[in-house]
Structure 1
Amino acid sequence: MKKTFFYLATAITLTACTQNSETETLAEENSTTTVAARRSCPSEEIRQQLLSTDASARARYANIEAGLQSFITSGKVLADGSVDIPVVVNILYKSSAENISDARIAEQIAILNADFAGTNTDATKIPTEFSGVKAGDTQVRFHLVKTVRKATTKTKWGTNDAMKKSSSGGIDATSPANYFNLWVVGNMGGILGYATFPESAGLWNDGVVIAAPYFGKTGTTAPYNLGRTATHEVGHYLNLRHIWGDASCGNDQVADTPTQTGANYGKPTYPLYNTCSGTSRSVMFMNYMDYVDDAAMFMFSAGQKARSQSVLTSSGARSGLRVY
């Protein structure tokens, strides 16, 4: 198990999750989304660029991590109960299939609530080895406030946040300091979704983007068809890093997630052993912050629970979401 250290240089401030393979190239402007064998995220490159050019982002990150360490070492919890996060879903659609239904939005919100409450039906698959460190109820809830829909002629979106600006054909965020904005777009080439971390709290681009084929369950594309792309990205929004720390045997700043050499893919069979620093250990590939298929991820750890709760306290970076 890892010790939790504070490393500014290992922060991830924005992450984009993609599906790819060795032979796949991004879809052309008029192509439809294709499903590849596995996910990957160019998060480290994005993070390095942001932190190398934005001193204010570095300062915000330092403050957030300092507050987190204080929260964890003091053994604090969300003493005032669960935080119910208000959600605004912004839908940009070119076809009727991309204009996802209200029922499918409700389905995705229900998935988030189950996953963050630990009541997801597949939580029964958590191995006994990890049952002692499972998060259970993170005390984070989500409820839909409103849905904003906008037709577009655009056939593909990238990760330049164009979908978040009306001036570039997107939808402006609704009071991002107080509402969790979630954008759903029809096609992002090989990209499933991406998220901003708490350093971006309240900024115009703050929130999560999901490609429509991976939003909710109904009509979604296997093997990313159980709504877990949103669970993974909301994890980033609440300050959770990829479980392997985006480096070989890296540090995700969580003490109770086993160190591993890199991401896991597909549907691994438990136990899956991995060796770091000469020590072989069973890894927590079923964690929402790994890269396995939706059906193979079904838990957060207690340490991840503490990280997410920290940013939602009355003094946390995302305290503005506590409007209800």
Structure 2
Amino acid sequence: MLYPFSLYFALTGTAFAGAVSGTTTSDAPRRGQAPSDGLTTPHYGDGSCDTQGMINIETYITLFANNETHEGGWLGDDIVEEQIKALNEGFSSCRIGFTLKGLQRSIDAMPLGFDPDEKLAFGFYGKYRKGSYKSLNLYYSPNQTGGVCTHPGMRGALHIGTAFNVDGCQMATNTMPGGTPPYEMGKTTVHEVGHWLGLLHTFQGGCNEAKGDFVSDTPAVNETVGRVEGTCPRGQNSCPDLPGLDPIHNYMSYSSDECRTEFTQGQCERMRSIWRYIRIDPEHS
């Protein structure tokens, strides 16, 4: 959507973003978030991700299962490796990479969603989360539908309260490579990690010029149209009074996995800046 760049973080709370296939969480930051957290507008160097250094994010995966069968969610290492491959391919244009540092499996009931009013969720994820605030934690369950992820926020970065514990992304097991169409190529995880690095949906704010996803090179999308899941409507223009066709190939859309293939330059710059200012902890350790 064609609006000025801005950081959209949480100083006072943790935000949550829903993804595809039946999630009910808000796509917009909430719980006390404001368009500015007192951070200056990020500097993007020469504006080209191609000339910037590679960011490598240590990644931890937890597979929750109903039993020790493939159908029950106890997936093999080969599927996990394919998921990491899909993640790296999705972010390659942004020069962001992911290295699997740990894999654990558990026959446990993962709380669905990261509702901060539920103390159970805070305590539960505190047992499984690994690494620091710049470490990506991915959780998969056969009982999950689609995906949901936290946005970056200063409360989590500073380990205030329990915001750090719930930082991460939840996805349905059947969204991993070899899963259930139209989300069977591992790109739900790419979408969710986009949220983890600060991106909103491409249809955020709809055709309202006063709202948007805070990225200047993603064309606006009618919100009702944008929420239609699993299709690939080539040539669609749901905001005809604004520039550009609907960005159906964008990872932050709800298009099918086959259709989603790209981040924009502006999205890459935003994620890299958020990594620098929020995900790397305040002491830059």
Does the pair score TM above 0.5? yes
Alignment match, 1:299 = 262
1:54-85: CA deviation from partner (whole Å, max 9, x where unpaired): xxx659x614xx34x23248747597610111
Cα gap change, 1:182/1:302 in structure 2, threshold over 3 Å: closer, same or farther?
same
Q: Which residue of structure 1 aligns with residue 219 of structure 2? A: 258
How many percent of aligned residue pairs carry the same amino acid? 22
Alignment partners' CA distance in 1, 2:5 and 2:143: 38
Q: Mark the runs of 5 or more structure 2 residues left unpaired by the alignment.
A: none
Q: 1:77 to 1:296 in 2, by over 3 A?
A: closer
After superposition, the C-alpha distances for 1:225-265 in whole angstroms (9 at most, x for unaligned) are 01110000000001111012244444111111111212154
Deviations 1:16-75 (A, max 9, x none): 22524xxxxxxxxxxxxxxxxxxx653157x43x22xxxxx659x614xx34x2324874
Q: 2:202·2:213 contact (CA, 8 Å) conserved in 1?
A: yes
How far off is 1:284 after superposition? 1.1
Partner of 1:312: 275
SS of 2:174's equivalent? helix
Does the Cα contact within 8 Å between 1:157 and 1:185 map onto a contact in 2?
no
**Kept in 1: contact 2:126–2:165 (CA 8 A):** no
CA 1:169 to 1:245, structure 2 compared with 1: closer, same or farther past 3 Å? Answer: closer
State the distance in 1 between where 2:204 and 2:37 align: 17
Residue-pair matches, total: 265
Q: CA RMSD in A?
A: 3.4
More helix by share: 1
CA distance in 2 between counterparts of 1:16 and 1:279 reads: 26
Evaluate the alpha carbon distance shift between residue 274 and residue 165 of structure 1 in structure 2; reply closer, same or farther with a 3 A threshold: closer
- Residue in 2 that maps onto 1:147: 103
**Structure 2 partner of 1:15:** 17
Partner of 1:270: 234
| Alignment partner of 2:190 out of 231, 255, 262 | 231
Match for 1:241 among 191, 196, 200?
200
User: Corresponding residue for 2:135?
Assistant: 179
Change (3 A) 1:7 1:170: closer
Higher-strand-fraction structure: 1
- Between structure 1 and structure 2, the one with the greater Rg is 1
Q: Distance in 2 between matches of 1:306 and 1:169?
A: 30
1:49-128 alignment to 2 at 5 Å? 50-51=31-32, 62-63=37-38, 66-67=39-40, 69-72=41-44, 75=47, 81-95=53-67, 96-97=69-70, 98-117=73-92
Shift of 1:272: 1.4
Other structure's SS at 1:15 match: strand
Whole-angstrom CA distance in 1 between matches of 2:126 and 2:15? 22
Measured after TM superposition, the shift of residue 13 of structure 1 is 2.4
Q: Is the 8 A contact 2:187 2:257 kept in 1?
A: yes
**1:268: Cα distance to partner?**
2.9
